[in-house]
């Protein structure tokens, strides 16, 4: 089996037309790769287009405010990606004279750029012969070549990297890297792949051994933490609302939110109401959602209630709702505002 030849032939027949495939500009490729980390193409494509429209060059991105960058990123999650994106744009302008590093090892020095992203930029922009290894590549190689090592282990990553590098054709690294990622995204999908139409069916270890559902092997499990958020929508006599920037280094760093009352364990709504009454003594207090709104993050599930607190006086730091909506905020708060106040 000539793996790379078969794979590239499949790719040329089946590839999607995507805007970042029409260029070898490292800025656009870097932008797309950061957006597509932990994100499906269908979700990420509109964000990519918005960023390119707002910031046509790396200089434009570097000159933007962090709030503008975070607002455009709103809803994509993993907001550290956006902060790193902004920081790296400044690094490229200030330390690299506005030009991207041109080698894999130089690219690794950039904030937020790991081995996979560096390999993607190096191969797509500069045709460097370095193989990409991500979740799609793990899945494709483990199934076809029968690699039953635990992908949660660092040593396994090295094995996959070595195999991918051996399979990489020296005369077409960019094409091969695009092809193997696309094959994992469209054909060799995580669940219920269409093996009968697969070009590798007769050579696939997992198909022959009936191990499609168990490869790749991943034993490490994520511990999901429950957190209980009670958001207090503090409104003054002008109907303005109090929001503040989240300074905590955890989730949603530098995004804006309502006043937060967080508990480490579930409390009854009556207990929460009494706590709010004692601490704030509002003129009126309205629970906006009796059933907790569940917002699922990779390592945390947030159980959220919103309470509206009305006060009769003017609160100096409170902002009009239109101004609040211009600020970057967690998508769960943005959606709540759209549903309840616009």
Residue 33 appears among annotated catalytic residues: yes
pLDDT at 341: 86
Among candidate residues 33, 128, 182, 308, the one labeled active-site is: 33
Place of tokens 């933007």: 64
- The closest alpha carbon to 58, from 95, 89, 30, belongs to 89
pLDDT tens for the chain, residues 1 to 342 = 799 999 999 999 999 999 999 899 999 999 999 999 989 999 999 999 999 999 999 999 999 999 999 999 999 999 999 999 999 999 999 999 999 999 999 999 999 999 999 999 999 999 999 999 999 999 999 999 999 999 988 889 999 999 999 999 999 999 999 999 999 999 999 999 999 999 999 999 999 999 999 999 988 777 899 999 999 999 999 999 999 999 988 899 999 999 999 998 999 999 999 999 999 999 999 999 999 999 999 889 999 999 999 999 999 999 999 999 999 999 999 999 999 987
CA 191 – CA 182 distance, rounded (Å):
16
- Look at residue 262 in the predicted model and tell me its pLDDT: 95
Q: CB 28: neighbour CB atoms within 10 A?
A: 22
Number of Cβ within a 10 Å radius of residue 219: 8
DSSP states along 228-280: EEEEEEEE-TTS-B--EE---SSTTTT-EE-EEEEESS---HHHHHHHHHHHH
CB atoms within 10 A of CB 144: 22
Q: pTM to 2 decimals? A: 0.91
pLDDT at 38: 86
Q: Other CB atoms closer than 10 Å to residue 193's CB: what's the count?
A: 20
Q: What are the residues facing 234 on neighbouring strands?
A: 309
Phi, psi of 183, rounded to the nearest 5 degrees: -65, -40
Q: How far is the CA of 119 from the CAs of 56, 155, 202, in angstroms?
A: 23, 19, 30
pLDDT for res 154: 84
Q: What is the pLDDT of residue 48?
A: 97
C-alpha–C-alpha distance, residues 78 and 86, integer Å? 14
**Residue whose pair of structure tokens reads 């040593």 in the numeric block:** 155
Return the structure tokens found at 161: 């990297």
- pLDDT computed for residue 269 by the predictor: 96
């Amino acid at each position: 089996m000539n793996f790379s030849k078969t794979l590239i032939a499949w790719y040329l027949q089946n590839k999607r037309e995507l805007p970042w495939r029409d260029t070898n500009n490292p800025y656009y490729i870097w932008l797309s790769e950061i957006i597509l980390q932990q994100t499906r193409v269908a979700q990420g494509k509109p964000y990519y287009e918005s960023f390119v429209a707002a910031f046509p060059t790396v200089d434009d991105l570097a000159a933007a405010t962090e709030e503008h960058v975070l607002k455009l990123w709103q809803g994509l999650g993993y907001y550290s990606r956006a902060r790193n994106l902004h920081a790296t744009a400044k690094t490229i302008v200030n330390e690299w004279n506005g030009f991207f590093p041109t080698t894999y090892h130089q690219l690794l020095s950039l904030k937020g750029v790991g081995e996979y992203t560096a390999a993607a930029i190096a191969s797509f922009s500069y045709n460097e012969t370095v193989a990409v290894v991500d979740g799609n590549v793990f899945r494709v190689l483990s199934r076809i070549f029968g690699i039953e090592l635990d992908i949660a282990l660092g040593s396994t990553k090295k094995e996959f990297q070595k195999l991918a590098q051996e399979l990489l054709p020296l005369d077409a690294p960019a094409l091969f890297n695009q092809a193997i990622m696309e094959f994992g995204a469209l054909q060799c999908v995580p669940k219920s792949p269409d093996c009968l139409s697969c070009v590798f069916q007769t050579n696939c270890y997992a198909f022959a051994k009936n191990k499609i559902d168990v490869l790749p092997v991943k034993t490490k499990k994520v511990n999901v933490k429950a957190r209980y958020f009670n958001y207090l929508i503090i409104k003054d006599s002008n109907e303005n609302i109090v929001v503040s920037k989240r300074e905590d280094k955890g989730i949603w760093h530098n995004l804006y939110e309502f006043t937060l009352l967080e508990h480490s364990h579930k409390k009854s709504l009556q207990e929460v109401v009494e706590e709010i009454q004692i601490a704030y003594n509002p003129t009126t207090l309205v629970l906006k959602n009796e059933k907790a709104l569940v917002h699922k993050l990779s390592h945390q599930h947030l159980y959220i209630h919103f309470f509206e607190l009305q006060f009769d006086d003017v609160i100096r730091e409170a902002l009009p709702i239109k101004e609040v909506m211009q600020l970057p905020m967690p998508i769960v708060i943005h959606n709540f505002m759209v549903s309840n106040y616009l």
